[in-house]
Structure 1
Amino acid sequence: MVIELETRIAEVTVYGDRALVKRQGSLSLEAGEHELRINYLPPFLKDSLRASGRGPAGTRLLGVEATTAFLARPPEQELLRLQTACDLLGRKIQLLQTRQQALEQRRRWVQALGEQAPALIQGLTQGRLQPGDYQHFFAALLEQMLQDAEASQDVAVQLDQLQKEWQAKKRELEQKRLHSDPDRLAVLVTVELPRAGELILELSYLIEGAAWRPSYDARLSFSGHDGAKGDVGQESSVDLACIGLVEQHTGEDWNEVALALSTARPAQATVLPELEPWYLDTFQPVLSPRALTRRSPQLPAVPGQWQPQVMLAAPLSALPEPAPTVEGQVNEEALASEEAVESSAEIEQRATALVYRCGRSVNIPSDGSPHRTLIAQYQLPCRLEVVAIPALEEVAHLRATVENSSGGLLLKGKANIFVDQEYVGTTEIDLTAPGQTFRLFLGLDDSVRIRRELVERTVEQGSRLQGNLRRITYAYRITVENFARGERRIIIMDRAPVSRHERIKVRIVSLLPEPQERSKLEQLTWQFTLPAGGKQQIEERFVVEHPRDFRVSGLP
């Protein structure tokens, strides 16, 4: 006799494109051999199925098998709930439509009574009706028309709202049906107990349709200041919240599960490919079908002689052998009195992957939407500086250089930046090891004013210059002013022209002050600290020489 076993999801480990799901169930069994059936499982990777558990000493697992159950519709409770809600809204809509029809019929009846006014006037003239009867009749008629009009308007508003709710529920239901396969898997487990007792069975399997990605919330906090952006210091700290965005549409909800997020890639855990020789040969063009048709009289009579040339265009690489199936695998020690070694211990290879375990149970529905799960929170030291490239834009950017002092690896992901509880923007954090730094741009700093202006442009040409050359002298001045109440660490980046032609000569005359960094392509960087109310000027002077008949591109 087959015994149905109810199981629940106890733990989920999410990878980049799939998840490892662990289910648990328990029941009391008599001594002997029993066949257990776990129904309504979503389509998982059958080769990844594992079974383990605990039972009386000597309990043996005789076989594990996965079969397909073909169903008319998905058995999820969420679909049933949505369908019930749609049906309830549909009945309410029908009741309102019926009431609207009744009001319309009464409006027509009242309108028909109003059309009897000539007969009433004739009865009044003939003395059959008194003037008071005529007045009461039309007053009651008017009151009924006003009540019906008001009721009809209320019904129309309610009907419109219910129809919108019904359409929204219908779209949600169709979306879930679209991502839900009605067929399910069932697992048959055969166990043998030497004596009666309680059996705790655990199933684990890999399932697609689940993924996670790291995300961050970076909030800037100022140390030693009142929190105003205009009073930022050079040293501060960033509150970094590491968040895992988990989404899944596996076909079943994860309710109150222990969640773990792993960077392992089980799909890529294959054997090392075989390295083949690297051949060089003369180029042989691949003929088009039309050219082959024109040359068909000269083709060999055996078609197989042409097949190697076609195969050379797309060589096949060595493929690893598929992993052996575990269906029907016997694991006699898995159901012993001690806790069996779980298969997840093999997947969690900390030497090559990171695993983040959530400290509480979480709920993640199967809706395909990203759900935030807090991984960790750090307070990281940072150095604040104002960075500007006045040749491109005369604005000052506030930048934070953050040191990863958390002791852990920060994965690559998007970061939402908040300054003084205000959302600034989004940036990307690259993979950052402990001790390394990353940068966050915190918006514009209006308290620092930057100007770059051309103060000199002198052209010399004619007979005074040898070789009929044209010489142009340029002078630029960059002015930086700090209007904040505190000092600023300033970084100014600029550039001088670089010649790409042998007859165009560029000579740097002076750079005042000397830049701290100067590359071979004349990319210049100045770094200095500007006190409150301070002012700093940078002057650049260079000369460009070229023949008079040259048209030089890139000059102002």
Structure 2
Amino acid sequence: MRRWLIGSAAVLCLPIVAVFAPYLWSGGKEKDGAAPASKIAKSRIDRVTVYPSNALVTREIEVPDGEGLVELVVTPMPDRIVASTMYSEGGDGLRVLTTRFTTRQVLEDTSAERRKLEAEMEKFQVAGAKIDSEINGLKMNMDLLNKLEAAADKSTRTGDEVISIAKYVMDQRVEKAKEMVNLMEQKRQNGIQMSFLQRKMGELGRGSGRMERDAILVVDREKGKGGTVRLNYLVSSVSWHPEYKVRAGKVDQDVQVDYLANLMQHTGEDWNQVKMTLSTAQPMLNASPPDLCMLQPILAVRGAPGGPPMPGGGGFASPFANSYAPRDIAKKAMTQRGQAWQLNSGQGGFGGGRGNSFDAKVQKEAERLLNEAAAIEQNLDLMRSRTEVLADLKKGKGSIAGPAGTDGPSVTYHLPNKLTVPSRGDEQVIEVVKLKLAPKYYYKTVPVLNTRVYRLADLVNKSEYILLPGEATMYQGSDFVGRMPMPLVAVGEEFTAGFGVDTQLQVQRQMVDQTRSTQGGNQVIKYEYRILVSSFKNQPVKLQVWDRLPKGENESIGVILGKITPDLCKDGIYLRESRPNNLLRWDVEVPANCSGEKAFAINYEFRMELDRQMAITGFRSK
């Protein structure tokens, strides 16, 4: 009996020894390698870099004082996070060992506003189920009335009984019909309320919030004290584009350019008092250029089945079988380039559609598409005739395809003030910078197109900001005058802004004479035109007037400019680019208060010469 008691006591002591043995062997101290305890960490969003279709978010996470390892849980993380892009940065005496992303299911939605809406939605769902049940019961009662009516027809009842049953059935039908109308109206109103709640829930910028997203960091406190570490991650459902408000004042006042950013962020988390940077970069993980493949010609035997035909008359045939439609092939090349770009950006890390992780196979497929697109473009380029090459050079065109380099500049704007941008479905306008630019005002008219005179200003971008292409809203003082597309303007570059129509300047264009004659074997048609400018302003103004002459594509027709008063513009860019196309430009100064007989006049004449056997069937714009 005693041995049995001793044995039992020994067995019972084994678990106690197993639990306390490490503590006893370590002298009462935990081993450093013990698993760290998880703690909910305090964090805030410190800065955000917004790209055209995504954003890089940086959170500062507080690390509590203490020694050794600590596991910090950052919750909640946004719905639109790209989990594979999370990375952490340590601090002074703090080293981040691991960073991981996890999800967990929760009973109720994590958003208080959404929980309130869901509670209201649940009430309407219960009410809807009750209404449906009452409608079904009412239908069964109406079916019972129909059976009662059928039984009255077949029974051998007295006349009074039949009348009594008929009256009961009719009264009940009227009553049930009213009840049905009332229930259907209740159902309709209930559906309207549910639809309204669904739209409000959609405006919250997140889907079902019954899944919590957490980031877990294991931090080693090497110096035995706390501090802060940084957690960086990318989110999708973010975009921005530039827009402008341009205000012109008096002649001696600067033009004010309000550079704005139209920002939409629908990530599921609010950005409160953050340092914001706007960027036009399109970052991708595949930082190396694509590999170039060999270009191989495809040959076919002339006269063979399915091959090109033999040249007729024994003449010299072109080495190319031109059985292609250039537009269709160029479109195919553009499509393949677009597919390659989507593959690269999709795996590139900023919210793409291929799992948001780098894949070597995807990169190889993108390189294959790029090489095939380039082969198609070179096919069009190499198979051009000498006539086409010379014509493109004359028009100032380069390659026929013009494949790459259309992404525009990579520009970054660091906004000076901290901003708050809530997560919502609509666009929010934030200010990038206000610019004051010195204008050079003048007016411009193209009477062959319309008789309006427009006020313009040449502006030089003397700021340190590149102005990106976008829509500009133009104001004259406080009056809205129209919109115009803002071009890409580099630092120090000049651009032109339009400020609407000035009705105090009027212009008219008319033909004053036309004669026809023959000269040798040619027919000659001579025209005289006059452009009259009327000014009702109290001071002289600078005016730019444009017109055009016909221009033949070859020597079969000649167009010669004759007498012209005043002389054409001497601007170098105009003489190089526009004058060879027979576009006419005058830079004149219109006197004050000149109208009627005193109107400012521009006169010019030109003649067209063509063979007597030729006839002009019309003119077209090109």
TM range (shorter): 0.5 to 0.7
Asked whether 1:5 is paired with 2:41, we answer yes
C-alpha distance in structure 1 between counterparts of 2:193 and 2:481, whole Å: 35
C-alpha distance in structure 2 between counterparts of 1:188 and 1:364, whole Å: 26
The structure-2 alpha-carbon separation of the partners of 1:268 and 1:547, relative to structure 1 and needing over 3 Å to count, comes to farther
Quick one: which amino acid aligns to residue 569 of structure 2?
A: Q
C-alpha distance in structure 2 between counterparts of 1:502 and 1:264, whole Å: 50
Quick one: which amino acid aligns to residue 192 of structure 1?
A: D
Where does residue 528 of structure 2 map in the other structure? Answer: 475
Alignment: residue pair count: 422
1:52-89 deviation per Cα after TM superposition (whole angstroms, max 9, x unaligned): 3446x4x433222222334577523443354467679x
Asked whether 1:459 is paired with 2:502, we answer no
The structure-2 alpha-carbon separation of the partners of 1:473 and 1:209, relative to structure 1 and needing over 3 Å to count, comes to same
Higher relative contact order structure (alpha carbons within 8 Å, sequence separation ≥ 6): 1
Q: Secondary structure at the match of 2:202?
A: helix
Quick one: which amino acid aligns to residue 63 of structure 1?
A: T
Asked whether 1:239 is paired with 2:239, we answer no
Q: 1:50 is matched with which residue: 87, 98, 102?
A: 87
- Whether the 8 Å CA contact 1:2–1:37 is kept in 2: the answer is yes
Q: 1:253 is matched with which residue: 263, 270, 276?
A: 270
Asked whether 1:379 is paired with 2:436, we answer yes
C-alpha distance in structure 2 between counterparts of 1:532 and 1:417, whole Å: 26
The structure-2 alpha-carbon separation of the partners of 1:10 and 1:81, relative to structure 1 and needing over 3 Å to count, comes to farther
Quick one: which amino acid aligns to residue 231 of structure 2?
A: L
C-alpha distance in structure 1 between counterparts of 2:475 and 2:348, whole Å: 48
1:24-62 deviation per Cα after TM superposition (whole angstroms, max 9, x unaligned): 23253443322222232124233421223446x4x4332
Asked whether 1:415 is paired with 2:468, we answer no
Q: 2:600 is matched with which residue: 526, 530, 536?
A: 536
1:364-394 deviation per Cα after TM superposition (whole angstroms, max 9, x unaligned): 2222322111111111011111111111111
Q: 1:513 is matched with which residue: 544, 549, 566?
A: 566
The structure-2 alpha-carbon separation of the partners of 1:485 and 1:165, relative to structure 1 and needing over 3 Å to count, comes to farther
Q: 2:481 is matched with which residue: 424, 435, 460?
A: 424
- Whether the 8 Å CA contact 1:76–1:252 is kept in 2: the answer is no
Q: After TM superposition, give the deviation of residue 353 of structure 1 in Å.
A: 4.7
Q: 1:36 is matched with which residue: 72, 75, 78?
A: 72
C-alpha distance in structure 2 between counterparts of 1:438 and 1:283, whole Å: 53
- Whether the 8 Å CA contact 2:552–2:558 is kept in 1: the answer is yes
Q: After TM superposition, give the deviation of residue 444 of structure 1 in Å.
A: 0.6
Matches within 5 A, 1:68-467: 68-70=103-105, 75-83=110-118, 168-176=196-204, 183-193=211-221, 197-224=225-252, 236-267=253-284, 270-282=287-299, 353-460=410-517, 466-467=520-521
The structure-2 alpha-carbon separation of the partners of 1:378 and 1:555, relative to structure 1 and needing over 3 Å to count, comes to closer
Where does residue 553 of structure 1 map in the other structure? Answer: 617
C-alpha distance in structure 1 between counterparts of 2:603 and 2:95, whole Å: 85
Range with greater deviation from structure 2 (384-393 or 18-27): 18-27
- Whether the 8 Å CA contact 1:53–1:199 is kept in 2: the answer is no
C-alpha distance in structure 2 between counterparts of 1:531 and 1:168, whole Å: 64
Specify every segment of 5 or more residues in structure 1 that has no aligned partner in the other structure, as ranges. 98-159, 225-235, 289-313, 328-351
The structure-2 alpha-carbon separation of the partners of 1:36 and 1:444, relative to structure 1 and needing over 3 Å to count, comes to same
C-alpha distance in structure 2 between counterparts of 1:171 and 1:369, whole Å: 13
Q: Secondary structure at the match of 2:64?
A: strand
C-alpha distance in structure 2 between counterparts of 1:430 and 1:182, whole Å: 46
- Whether the 8 Å CA contact 2:205–2:267 is kept in 1: the answer is no
1:400-456 deviation per Cα after TM superposition (whole angstroms, max 9, x unaligned): 111111133222222111112112222222221222111111111111110100111
Identical positions, percent: 24
1:443-494 deviation per Cα after TM superposition (whole angstroms, max 9, x unaligned): 1111111010011122346xxx643x54322111001121112221100011
The structure-2 alpha-carbon separation of the partners of 1:366 and 1:180, relative to structure 1 and needing over 3 Å to count, comes to farther
C-alpha distance in structure 2 between counterparts of 1:12 and 1:466, whole Å: 77
The structure-2 alpha-carbon separation of the partners of 1:165 and 1:68, relative to structure 1 and needing over 3 Å to count, comes to closer
The structure-2 alpha-carbon separation of the partners of 1:504 and 1:191, relative to structure 1 and needing over 3 Å to count, comes to closer
Q: Secondary structure at the match of 1:471?
A: strand
C-alpha distance in structure 2 between counterparts of 1:268 and 1:403, whole Å: 37
Quick one: which amino acid aligns to residue 202 of structure 1?
A: R
Q: After TM superposition, give the deviation of residue 257 of structure 1 in Å.
A: 2.1
C-alpha distance in structure 2 between counterparts of 1:438 and 1:162, whole Å: 58
Specify every segment of 5 or more residues in structure 2 that has no aligned partner in the other structure, as ranges. 1-36, 132-187, 307-335, 350-354, 358-408
Which has more strand, going by share of residues?
1
Matches within 5 A, 1:485-496: 485-496=538-549
C-alpha distance in structure 2 between counterparts of 1:407 and 1:200, whole Å: 34
Quick one: which amino acid aligns to residue 457 of structure 2?
A: A
The structure-2 alpha-carbon separation of the partners of 1:498 and 1:32, relative to structure 1 and needing over 3 Å to count, comes to closer
Quick one: which amino acid aligns to residue 503 of structure 2?
A: D
The structure-2 alpha-carbon separation of the partners of 1:217 and 1:323, relative to structure 1 and needing over 3 Å to count, comes to closer
- Whether the 8 Å CA contact 2:204–2:425 is kept in 1: the answer is no
Quick one: which amino acid aligns to residue 527 of structure 2?
A: Y
TM-score, normalising length: structure 1: 0.67
Where does residue 585 of structure 2 map in the other structure? Answer: 525
Q: Secondary structure at the match of 1:514?
A: coil
Q: Secondary structure at the match of 2:417?
A: strand
Q: After TM superposition, give the deviation of residue 221 of structure 1 in Å.
A: 1.6
C-alpha distance in structure 2 between counterparts of 1:370 and 1:68, whole Å: 30
Q: Secondary structure at the match of 1:171?
A: helix
C-alpha distance in structure 2 between counterparts of 1:363 and 1:162, whole Å: 37
Q: Secondary structure at the match of 2:200?
A: helix
Quick one: which amino acid aligns to residue 45 of structure 1?
A: V
Q: Secondary structure at the match of 2:58?
A: strand
- Whether the 8 Å CA contact 1:28–1:196 is kept in 2: the answer is no
The structure-2 alpha-carbon separation of the partners of 1:169 and 1:421, relative to structure 1 and needing over 3 Å to count, comes to farther
The structure-2 alpha-carbon separation of the partners of 1:274 and 1:73, relative to structure 1 and needing over 3 Å to count, comes to farther
- Whether the 8 Å CA contact 1:47–1:323 is kept in 2: the answer is no
C-alpha distance in structure 2 between counterparts of 1:479 and 1:268, whole Å: 62
